[in-house]
């Protein structure tokens, strides 16, 4: 497994792969890897001849400096596991490699960024768009892999790739969960034991709302019940609970439409902000 820190060295290595007609799969991550990340790696290995994983905690996508400082890191373990998964190359750039100067451009995503994560994390998707653009330009992958855990991010990346003609195919991977339903996330290790127990509420509320919708119940009544559920959990603070059309993240008030619809939730459990979502037609 090649471990590369410089963008130039990475581009050179990958050009050799392309010259040998090998297809390149790319999995961008922020490290502190868990099974969710490895599902992306497995998919990449299925689709491509050569798999590259990047580990870079991107400062420009953090709206909260404390969240950035406390973002979990375990590089040695990550590398061992990536080696076991037979990843071909890991790109671990320093900050100055990705940002030799602070970016002068900013990226807007219209209505997509005015709701949910975009509304609650000002500047987040600008940072995501910039770092993903830089990484796609360095790696030039045939396939790039993203988790449905970050569903709005998937919509943002689709917009980026379509609008800027990035020559890559986006593949999405279902959310991996712990036994009690909590979506795997690098941030979960920051939860204290009582918070870890409280964090089940995210998935529970999604499953509850989905079942209520299936029984034809009114969305506003469901939301009220969900708010009450959160109020009863110590340490839990609901930020949003919305039903959206997946393609453009339009907020919906009923589920009658014949489209891909998901329910998205964000909540603080203690100091840790978690997000999750569920498709209502699975």
Three-state SS at 108: coil
Which has the closest alpha carbon to 95: 34, 5, 8?
5
Q: Is 61 left (phi over 0), alpha (psi -120 to 50) or beta?
A: alpha
**Cβ of residue 124: shortest distance to ligand AMP, in angstroms?**
12
**Cβ of residue 72: shortest distance to ligand AMP, in angstroms?**
10
Nearer to ligand AMP, 67 or 212 (CB): 67
Active-site residue, from 34, 37, 124, 142? 37
**Cβ of residue 106: shortest distance to ligand AMP, in angstroms?**
20
Read off φ and ψ for residue 116, nearest 5 degrees. 45, -120
Nearer to ligand AMP, 90 or 183 (CB): 183
Nearer to ligand AMP, 10 or 135 (CB): 135
- Please spell the DSSP secondary structure of 141-208, one letter per residue: -SEEEEEGGGHHHHHHHHHHHHHTT---EEEEEPPPB-TTSPBP-GGGGG--HHHHHHTHHHHHHHHH
**Cβ of residue 50: shortest distance to ligand AMP, in angstroms?**
19
Q: Which residues bind ligand AMP (CB under 6 A)?
A: 29-30, 36-37, 39-40, 146-147, 149-150, 173, 175-176, 183-186
Which has the closest alpha carbon to 147: 54, 47, 45, 40?
40
Asked if 20 is an active-site residue, the reply is: no
Please tell me the chain's helix, strand, coil percentages from 3-state DSSP, rounded to the nearest 5: 45, 20, 35
Tell me which residue has its CB nearest to ligand AMP: 147
CB 248 within 8 A of CB 111: yes
Nearer to ligand AMP, 37 or 121 (CB): 37
Nearer to ligand AMP, 129 or 222 (CB): 129
User: What are the C-alpha distances in Å from 261 to residues 14, 203, 208, 250?
Assistant: 38, 16, 16, 10
**Cβ of residue 12: shortest distance to ligand AMP, in angstroms?**
25
Catalytic residue set: 37
């Amino acid at each position: 497994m090649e471990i590369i820190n410089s963008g130039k060295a990475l581009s050179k290595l990958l050009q050799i792969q392309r010259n040998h007609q090998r297809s390149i799969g790319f999995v961008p991550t922020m490290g502190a890897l868990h099974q969710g990340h490895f599902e992306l790696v497995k998919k990449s290995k299925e689709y491509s001849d050569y798999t590259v994983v990047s580990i870079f905690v991107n400062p420009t996508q953090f709206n909260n400096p404390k969240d950035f400082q406390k973002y979990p890191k375990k590089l040695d373990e990550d590398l061992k596991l990536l080696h076991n998964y037979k990843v071909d190359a890991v790109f671990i750039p320093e900050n100055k490699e990705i940002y030799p100067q602070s970016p002068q451009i900013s990226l807007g995503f219209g209505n997509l960024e005015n709701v949910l994560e975009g509304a609650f994390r000002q500047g987040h998707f600008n940072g995501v768009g910039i770092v993903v653009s830089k990484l796609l330009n360095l790696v030039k992958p045939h396939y790039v892999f993203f988790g449905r855990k970050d569903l709005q991010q998937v919509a943002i990346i689709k917009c980026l790739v379509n609008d800027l003609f990035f020559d890559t195919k986006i593949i999405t991977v279902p959310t991996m969960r712990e036994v009690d339903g909590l979506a795997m996330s690098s941030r979960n290790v920051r939860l204290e034991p009582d918070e870890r127990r409280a964090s089940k509420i995210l998935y529970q509320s999604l499953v509850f709302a989905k079942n209520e919708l299936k029984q034809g119940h009114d969305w506003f009544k469901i939301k009220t019940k969900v708010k009450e559920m959160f109020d009863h959990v110590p340490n839990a603070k609901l930020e949003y609970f919305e039903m959206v059309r997946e393609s453009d993240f339009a907020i919906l008030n009923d589920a009658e439409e014949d489209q891909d619809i998901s329910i998205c939730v964000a909540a603080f459990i203690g100091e840790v902000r978690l997000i999750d979502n569920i498709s209502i037609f699975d």
